[in-house]
């Protein structure tokens, strides 16, 4: 793949993702003020010192936005990685072993998917200690059900191919077949799905924070910032729209890159042939 083959929309998405990651990695050094530092009046308008104005407690919205990128990206990325690790391993085991293992894992996955995700998360998070680890684990387990469904579909498609049968005849074990034969031939659709799941994780985390069960104050995250400043909309204060715009911006950028990856994948078997 050559750089000139990447469309403009994908470059826009890549730029947005890189910009967000830069803010997340270097937040303490590039933020004008501290994450919880009160620097002025409540809901002060935008000015040269405060480009996005101040929030409901007089904190700089730009600084909170930069620190919020750190929290939002870390939690969303960690939960997405864990959900993929869990979903892909279980789905590939189900697809390669078949029989009662496949049936049992598939029915358990169907049961989990039948429960409304948001309601399940609210109940669990309300019952358990509200820590960052608990939040990541709950998000990962819920999202792994979607990963399992896709992983099993693409693995079943590859598991019947000749090179997999040849590996079985050579006496290769299940682990070898999963990581050496099936996984390399399903990377394209899985990478595209990873981007989608990451985007959904951002939105899901923002929803939980808005409802008060996500990132807890005074730590900044974009969904919590919308919640903190939502009352300002009644008085014509746009403080809640800034983090809301950041959520939309990052989600759109991720989707632009995912769309490009999907166009490069002509079928669910986008593996060695797409290299």
- Per-residue pLDDT reduced to its tens digit, 138-160: 999 999 999 999 998 888 888 87
In order along its 275 residues, the chain shows pLDDT tens digits of: 567 778 889 999 999 999 999 999 999 999 999 999 999 999 999 998 899 999 999 999 999 999 999 999 999 999 999 999 999 999 988 888 888 988 999 999 999 888 888 888 988 988 888 888 999 999 999 999 999 999 988 888 888 788 877 877 887 777 888 888 888 888 878 888 898 899 999 999 999 999 888 888 888 899 999 999 998 888 888 899 999 999 999 999 999 998 887 777 654 444 444 43
Structure tokens at 170: 């050579």
Indicate the length of the chain as a whole number. Answer: 275
Cα–Cα nearest to 140, from 188, 179, 90: 90
Structure tokens at 187: 């990377």
Q: What is the DSSP string of 11-74?
A: HHHHHHHHHHHHHHHSHHHH-SS-SS-B-SSTTPPP-SS-TT-B-TTSBBHHHHHHHHHHHHHH
Cα–Cα nearest to 178, from 72, 78, 85: 85
What is the rounded end-to-end Cα distance, in angstroms, of the chain?
8
**Alpha helix (H) residue ranges in the chain:** 8-25, 27-30, 61-97, 99-114, 117-127, 132-159, 162-169, 174-176, 187-210, 222-229, 241-264
Number of other CB atoms surrounding residue 134 within 10 Å: 14
Structure tokens at 247: 């959520």
Q: How far apart are CA 243 and CA 221, in angstroms?
A: 8
Structure tokens at 259: 């769309």
Structure tokens at 66: 């930069």
């Amino acid at each position: 793949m050559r750089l000139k083959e990447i469309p403009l929309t994908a470059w826009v998405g890549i730029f947005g993702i890189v910009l967000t990651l830069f803010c997340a990695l270097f937040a303490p050094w590039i933020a004008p003020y501290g994450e919880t530092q009160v620097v002025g009046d409540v809901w002060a308008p935008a000015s040269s010192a405060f480009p996005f104005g101040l929030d409901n407690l007089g904190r700089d919205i730009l600084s909170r936005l930069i620190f919020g990128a750190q929290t939002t990206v870390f939690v969303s990325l960690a939960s997405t990685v864990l959900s993929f690790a869990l979903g892909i391993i279980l789905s590939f085991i189900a697809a390669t072993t078949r029989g009662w293992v496949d049936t049992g894992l598939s029915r358990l996955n169907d049961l989990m998917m039948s429960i409304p995700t948001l309601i399940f998360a609210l109940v669990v998070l309300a019952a358990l200690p509200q820590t960052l680890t608990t939040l990541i684990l709950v998000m990962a387990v819920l999202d792994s059900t979607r990963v399992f469904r896709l992983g099993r579909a693409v693995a079943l498609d590859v598991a019947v191919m000749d090179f997999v049968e040849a590996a079985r005849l050579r006496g290769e074990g299940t682990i070898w077949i999963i990581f050496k034969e099936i996984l390399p031939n399903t990377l394209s659709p899985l990478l595209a799905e990873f981007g989608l799941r990451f985007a959904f994780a951002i939105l899901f985390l923002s929803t939980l924070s808005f409802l008060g069960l996500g990132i807890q104050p005074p730590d900044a995250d974009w969904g919590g910032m919308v919640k903190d400043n939502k009352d300002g909309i009644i008085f014509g204060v746009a403080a809640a729209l800034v983090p809301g715009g950041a959520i939309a911006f990052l989600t759109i950028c991720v989707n632009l890159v995912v769309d490009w990856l999907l166009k490069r994948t002509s079928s669910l078997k986008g593996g060695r042939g797409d290299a």
